A and B are shown apart, each in its own frame.
Chain A
Amino acid sequence: MPATFTRNPVDVERKDTGIGGKPPYDRRPTGGGGDGENWDNHPHGRRGPRELLIRYRLGVMFALSGDLMFFVALVSAFFVRQSAGHFDAYNNFTSDWRPLAVPPILWLNTAVLLLSSVTMEMARRQLFHEIDVMEEWLGLGRPAVKRAAPWLAATLVLGLTFLAGQWVAWEQLVRQGYLLSSPDPSSHFFYLITGIHGLHLLLGIAALIAALVGLFTLKKVEFRQIAVDSVSWYWHTMGLFWAFLFALLVFFQ
């Protein structure tokens, strides 16, 4: 039995459904894009504003999956390193792991980052508000941008605050004597984890700035939506990763 079996259209029976009956449902397989957004069976490229958005969401989702694996590797290294040790001269198994007390400002930074996710989501939703989007699409001004831009700017400010707070935490640790070059592995991990997350967030800040600029320079509403939508998924994911990493540093040492 071949995997393909397309019924000849003539063979589809059309029963008279009478009053209140359901219309005939087209059960032919439709391939990519032929479901959900393509209820009118338009060809590629002519399926409406969400077509490109779905493509970009797919891309962002896959990219973030790869990033997730990267952090998973770091976290597993964390756990392995924690339990590593050696047998000393008296045949005792000792370890050089000393739990690091996380600088309390990190709690504030976490709150700031979670708040920035809230503002980011507000920005994203404003930009998808149907009526405003219709007006923008028809060329009647940019009400969605006007609503979304302040929220986006707020996210940017909160993101920068988070990074500044992380920097303060680093300074506090240095003053306590925990450097990247200290022999202390929990110190290494702290700097490694917060540093790599901070680097990702820096890229996120750059993307936020690009999205903010794009809100005012991009010509089509679809592109503006894509810009903010992509950044927002990235931003939320970085916030979620931070929640896990923070819990790791605070509770799992």
Chain B
Amino acid sequence: MKRALGRVFSTEHRRLGVMYLLLALAAVAVGTTLSLLMRFHRVWPNAVLPYFGVMKPEDYLALVTMHGTLMIFFVLTTAPQSGFANLVLPEQIGAKGMAFPRINATAFWLTVAAFLVLISAAHITAGGAPISGWTSYPPLSALPAAGPGQGLGMDLWLVSIGIFCVAAWLSAVNMLATILGERRAGMTWGRLPMTVWAWLVASILTLLAFAVLLAAVVLLFSDRHFGSSFFIPMNDMINGRVVGHGDGSPLLWLHLFWFFGHPEVYIAVLPGMGLATSLFANFTRRRVAGYKMMAGMLVAIGLLGLAVWGHHMFVSGMNPYAGTAFAMVTMAIAVPSTVEVIGWLATLWGGGLRLQTPMLFALGFLSFFIVGGLSGPLLAEPALDAYLHNTFFVVAHFHLIMAMAGVFGVFAGVYYWFPLMTGRLMNEALGKVHFWVSLIAAYGTFLPMHFAGLAGEPRHYDRLAGPATNFAALIPVERGITYSALLLAAVQLVFLWNVFVSARRGRVAGENPWQSTTLEWANGTAPTRIEAGPYEYELPQGEGGFHPQWESAPKLE
């Protein structure tokens, strides 16, 4: 019993990495189910669904809230960063372990607690889950009387996010101290694998952004319970009663939230970018084109990402000149992103691609990154955003570039590092089925949303044709999207089957099954001093074609 407890509450980083990934798996399962319920309701609004019966509009909004919260916080912030970094970061930099193993473990268990509190917000409260979205704008989120689920459900949501903020802070402190202080001798900044650069930038963003979110959550909690009015405007009226007694400003919440919210989406996608770089090098057997530039662009994206939050607020009524400033910085951030893409393409171009499953998912990441990224500069223009804000165009944009790219990055990582977790390889045929069907179904789900958005279809409406709205012409599009979404969700079962069956009966992997150069595959043979670069491929055939980082200095060219 004591040993079992010791194993569960372990501070060993690889075990924590796997536990983070399992937590993310639970969250994505719930989040996907919620999204399917949403899709069902949009196309068949009067259908009787399990658990809801006939869904009411507030139920739909509750689904929107929980789907967004679960996916962004508990899937995209945990799996790519905490999950994989705990799995391989110490090995990749030649460290013995994380700098603060117990703080690391504490952060994990706090994340679990936050998850449980969030789930309870939906189930144990009389009013149900909150309906104010993952962005929880006041006054809707600041006043319990403002809507169903905005009482105890909203409070529990705030508590959950508050706990998550503390967990993220601890995790970031641990990761930064590890990357800066625990590198092995010889592991210079120029020899770090790109994944480590990505985790470094993402950790800095985590440290800065989540602190601001925590402050915002505290202020919102104060508005709800201590009679303050940080966010509730004067003479605000809810249900015919004046509730606003102070000169609060909902715009203040928007500023605070999006100062967190924009770096958050970069935290979600940067680890995938680093992993894509690593995988492209690995599976083309070539060095990373412009390593320093690629690393520098990750840093540039992180830095600029702290300065663009206003592009979520173009139509909020803020000063239009501020909008111009934010628009310019947002357009500027397209530059390092494009440089990254060009770097990837340069690494890939003319290379003999080994199209194994991790590489396929990395290519899928690249595809989603480009397609999703192309709609970014469109939304960055305040003039265009005035029309497109809160339409399905925005939904298409962030689902392609953050959700699908991020998730494909997670898939790539799972397939790639599966041998490290289990000693076995996942099934290639099933992996290819998983990849192709997911790719096509994802595009089938999210590409049509661009057109729906351009046609003016708003977000957060629970039905398209009713007393208040008439987007009935878009129902066929929505039906197509729903079928694609169902297919997308269904093929994930293939992935789950692959994971759990391969873990027991998969083909036994060798020592370095992908013939990688990075240190996590060194299997304990790394020297006391690192002398090689992270991506020493392209060497003459006599040497096996590549020079792992755990061997002594490569020959001069």
Residues of B within 8 A of A188 (CB): 222, 226-228, 230
Decide: B186 and A85 in contact? CB cutoff 8 A. no
Are B530 and A31 in contact (CB-based, < 8 A)?
A: yes
User: Distance in Å from the Cβ of A54 to the closest Cβ of chain B?
Assistant: 6
Tell whether, in the assembled complex, residue B247 and residue A69 are in contact, meaning their CB atoms are under 8 Å apart.
Answer: no
Given the contacts A31-B184, A32-B183, A181-B226, A73 and B96 also touching, CB distance less than 8 Å: no
Known A66-B210, A81-B230: A43·B247 in contact at CB below 8 Å:
no
Is B434 in the interface zone, CB < 8 Å from A?
no
- A43 contact from B208, B528, B532, Cβ within 8 A: B528
Which residues of chain B come closer than 8 Å to A66, judged between CB atoms?
169, 172-173, 207-208, 210-211
Whether B355 is near chain A, meaning CB under 8 Å from some CB there, is no
A206 contacts B by Cβ under 8 Å: no
CB of B170, distance to nearest CB on chain A (Å): 8
Measured CB to CB, the closest approach of chain A to B189, in angstroms, equals: 9
Instruction: Pick from B17-25, B139-147, B248-256 the stretch touching chain A.
Output: B248-256
On whether the beta carbons of B183 and A33 are closer than 8 Å, the reply is yes
Interface size class of B (residues with CB under 8 A): 35 or more
Interface pick from A55-63, A99-107, A140-148, A163-171: A55-63
B219 at the interface (CB under 8 A from A): yes
**In the bound complex, how far is the Cα of B228 from the Cα of A81, in angstroms?**
11
Q: Are B291 and A80 in contact (CB under 8 A)?
A: no
A residues 54-97 in Cβ contact with B at 8 Å: 54-55, 58-59, 62-63, 65-74, 76-77, 80-81, 84-86, 95-97
Contact A86 B186 (CB under 8 A): no
**Beta-carbon contact of B191 and A4 below 8 Å:** yes
Q: In the complex the two chains form, what is the Cα distance from A77 to B536 in whole Å?
A: 50
CB distance from A10 to the nearest CB of B (A): 12
**Given A3-B191, A6-B553, A181-B227: A74 and B181 within 8 A (CB)?**
no
Residues of A contacting B460 with CB < 8 Å? none
Interface presence of B468 (CB below 8 A): no
The chain B residue with its CB closest to the CB of A30 is: B185
Partner of B252, one of A8, A58, A65, A77: A77
Interface flag for B439 (CB, 8 Å)? no
B295: min CB distance to chain A, Å:
9
A2 at interface by CB-CB < 8 Å? yes
State which residues 17-36 of A face B: CB under 8 Å. Answer: 29-34
Point out the residue from B246, B291, B532 that lies within 8 Å of A185, measured CB to CB: B246
A80 x B249 contact (CB < 8 A): yes
| In the complex, A122 has a CB within 8 A of chain B | no
B386 on the A face (CB < 8 A): no
Structural contact, B227 and A85, CB atoms closer than 8 A: no
Interface: B238 (CB within 8 A): no
Q: Which residue of A lies closest to B180 (CB)?
A: A58
Cβ B186 vs Cβ A30 within 8 A: yes
**Could you tell me if B247 and A73 are in contact, using CB atoms closer than 8 angstroms?**
no
**Chain B, residue nearest A59 (CB):** B177
**B233 CB-CB contact with A under 8 Å:** yes
- The reply to whether the CB of B182 lies closer than 8 angstroms to some CB of chain A is yes
Please tell me if the beta carbons of B249 and A84 are within 8 angstroms of each other in the complex. Answer: yes
In the complex, the answer to whether A31 meets B185 with C-beta atoms within 8 Å is yes
Partner pick for B211 among A29, A44, A73, A96, CB 8 A cutoff: A73
State the CA gap A162–B532 with chains docked (Å): 55
Q: Report which of B173, B214, B222 forms a contact with A70, defined as CB distance below 8 A.
A: B214
B252, A29: Cβ atoms closer than 8 Å: no
- For A81, the closest partner residue in chain B by CB is B230
Chain B residues, CB < 8 A from A84: 247-249, 252
Q: Within 8 Å of chain A (Cβ to Cβ): is B371? A: no
Q: Is the C-beta of A172 less than 8 angstroms from some C-beta in chain B?
A: no
Q: Which of B203-227 contact A (CB under 8 A)?
A: 207-212, 214-216, 218-219, 222, 226-227
Are the C-beta atoms of B533 and A45 separated by less than 8 Å?
A: no
Q: Give chain B residues whose Cβ lies under 8 Å from the Cβ of A150.
A: none
Q: Which residues of B contact A72 (CB under 8 A)?
A: 212
A73 adjacent to B256 (CB under 8 Å) = yes
A82 to chain B, nearest CB (A): 10
Complex interface: chain B residues within 8 A of A97 (CB):
247
Give residues 149-206 of B contacting A (CB, 8 Å).
Answer: 169, 172-174, 176-177, 180-188, 190-191
- Known contacts being A3-B291, A4-B533, A85-B247, is A34 close to B190, with CB within 8 Å? no
Question: What residues on B are CB-neighbors of A68 within 8 Å?
Answer: 211
Q: B187 to A31, Cβ gap below 8 A?
A: yes
- Residue from the list B100, B188, B292, B533 in contact with A59, Cβ < 8 A: B100
Least distance between A103 CB and chain B CB atoms (Å): 20
Closest to B549 in A: A4
Cβ of A110 < 8 Å from any Cβ of B? no
Q: Quick check: is A38 within 8 A (CB to CB) of the other chain?
A: yes
Question: By the criterion CB–CB under 8 Å, are A63 and B173 in contact?
Answer: yes
Contacting residues of chain B (221-265) with chain A, CB-CB under 8 angstroms: 222, 226-230, 233-235, 245-249, 252, 255-256, 259
In the bound complex, do residue A43 and residue B177 qualify as a contact, i.e. CB atoms below 8 Å apart? Answer: no
Would you call A180 an interface residue if the criterion is a C-beta within 8 Å of the partner chain's C-beta atoms? yes
With contact pairs A4-B533, A6-B553, A192-B222 given, residues A31 and B188 touching in the complex (Cβ less than 8 Å): yes
Contact A29 B215 (CB under 8 A): no
Closest Cβ of chain B: how far from A142's Cβ, in Å? 27
Instruction: Check if A69 sits within 8 Å of B212, measured CB to CB.
Output: yes
**Chain A residue nearest to B532 in the complex (CB):** A4
Cβ–Cβ < 8 Å partners of B209 in chain A: 69
Chain B residues within an 8 Å CB radius of A77: 215, 219, 230, 252, 256
Q: List 22 A-B contacts (CB under 8 A).
A: A3-B191, A6-B531, A31-B183, A31-B186, A38-B185, A41-B185, A55-B181, A59-B99, A65-B207, A66-B173, A70-B214, A72-B212, A73-B211, A73-B216, A77-B219, A81-B247, A95-B247, A96-B234, A183-B227, A188-B228, A192-B222, A196-B218
A-B residue pairs, 8 tightest by C-beta: A32-B183, A73-B215, A69-B211, A4-B533, A3-B190, A70-B211, A181-B227, A188-B228
Known: A69-B209, A192-B218. 9 other contacts (CB 8 A): A2-B287, A2-B533, A2-B557, A3-B292, A38-B185, A62-B172, A180-B227, A180-B228, A185-B246
